[in-house]
Amino acid sequence: MNDIYPLLAIETSDSICGACVYFSEEKFFSSKLVLKHSHAEKLFEVIKSVLAMASITQNELKAIAVSNGPGSFTGLRIGMSAAKGIAQSLSIPIIPVPTFEALAFQISSYLSEGSTFLISNKVGRDEVYFAKFQITGNNYIFKEELKIIPISELNLITKDILIFGNTFDLNSEKSISTKRISAPDAEFIAKWAVTFGINKMVTDIDFLEPNYLKDFIVKEKKND
Amino acid sequence: MVLPSLRKSKSEYDTTLIADEFAVNLQNGIVVVLNGDLGAGKTFFIKQVLQKFNVTNANSPTFAIVNEYYGDKTFYHFDFYRINKESELHDIGIEDYFNDEQSIIFIEWGNLFPDVLPKKRIEINISYINEQEREFNFIEYE
């Protein structure tokens, strides 16, 4: 199992542009920035900074874990492109990490046993990605599978439940408890990958794509 | 401007006045769709509105598909005219633009791809009456 360390983790699915060089639970180097429309420009700087902190060169990396969505279309593409570029050049494998599960994993480390919570992130103006989790034995289980629902449906569900994600503005008048954490930190991408993702490792990366959930290959109509 | 609203313009100057009046309606998060034939004055109208927000470099995004402007507010200005199929809009990450509710979005030729438009939006239908005159029909969808 040691042949995946050091592992580079990348998170770009939402507002966080983050990277982590991960050796073990006791030793990792993580960095992030939050700046709109900056992922393409800043991701490699963030990666360089964590490599420098860890005092290793890129060539020493053994595997890459990348936040695989769902999330921002452009953000996910940037993260996946970077991961593929590095993986290809070093002939190392990629572990695609389901973003909502990594976030649930992170949240479950803060909340008490038995807590139930939702994560809902925007798809567009009218729809949200939605999943419901419960914490059992320091881990999370799905209470409702990840799916896309109309935002109006969310308004009906979210009475008195802990909700994470970017769906509501902090100053919105909604009377629900809203936590604005909408993306995992890069070290939780790494932790998810090493805890649950080893058997998801991909060496033939050509066809690896982000999971947008929503089928972006839409029905094509004729314009006349 | 109270919506819905129907306005007639007899000159570019009239259009400027209508644009000034409409600019008051614009808050972050609003999506404005402009429909009208080539030469109806969609881009002209947007330019006039944007001047109220100190954006002076507005131009037709027919070839760029989307222009971004930073004045008193942030604006994304789309033109669907040259889009052949809906998937091209997803390829440029249009959902990410829609998710940025700290901005105002203009979409020219939005009627070509109605399925991607947010339900909540303002539509402006511009009709050509003659060389000088235009009719502006403002409709709000919730």
CATH of domain A100-179: 3.30.420.200
The CA distance from A186 to the nearest CA of chain B, in Å, is 21
Question: How many Å is the Cα radius of gyration of chain A?
Answer: 18
CATH number of this structure's domain B5-141, picked from the four choices 3.30.390.10, 3.40.50.300, 3.40.50.2300, 3.30.1540.10: 3.40.50.300
Q: What is the model's pLDDT at position B87?
A: 86
Q: Which residues of A touch B100 (CB under 8 A)?
A: 36
Name the residue among A75, A169, A216 with its Cβ closest to that of B90. A216
Mean pLDDT of successive 10-residue segments in chain B (142 residues)?
96 97 96 96 96 95 93 96 91 89 96 94 96 96 92
Residues of A with CB under 8 A from a CB of B: 36, 72-75, 77, 122-126, 166, 169, 216-221, 223
Crossing angle of helices A99-108 and A186-196, rounded to 10°: 100
User: Does B96 contact A169 at a Cβ distance shorter than 8 Å?
Assistant: no
pLDDT at A168: 66
Q: Give the Cα separation of A142 and A67 in Å (integer).
A: 19
Distances (CA, A) of A15 to A30, A180, A189, B119: 16, 11, 15, 25
Query: In angstroms, rounded to a whole number, what is the distance separating the alpha carbons of residues B122 and B138?
Result: 7
Render pLDDT for B109-118 as a digit per residue (tens, 0 to 9).
999 999 999 9
What pTM value is reported for the model?
0.86
Domain ranges in chain A? Answer: 2-99+184-207, 100-179
Kind plus residue range of the DSSP H or E element containing A129: strand A127-136
Does CATH place domain A2-99+184-207 in 3.30.420.40?
Answer: yes
For residue A81, the model assigns a pLDDT of 97
Q: CA A107, A108, A114, A119 torsion: positive or negative?
A: positive
Alpha-carbon distances of B60 from A24, B47, B77, rounded to whole Å = 53, 9, 8
Domain boundaries in chain B?
Answer: 5-141
Helix (H, G, I), strand (E, B) or coil at B136: strand
Q: How far is B54 from chain A (nearest CA, A)?
A: 22
> A124 and B118 in contact by Cβ < 8 A?
yes
Contact A74 B96 (CB under 8 A): yes
The yes-or-no verdict on residue A132 having pLDDT over 90 is yes
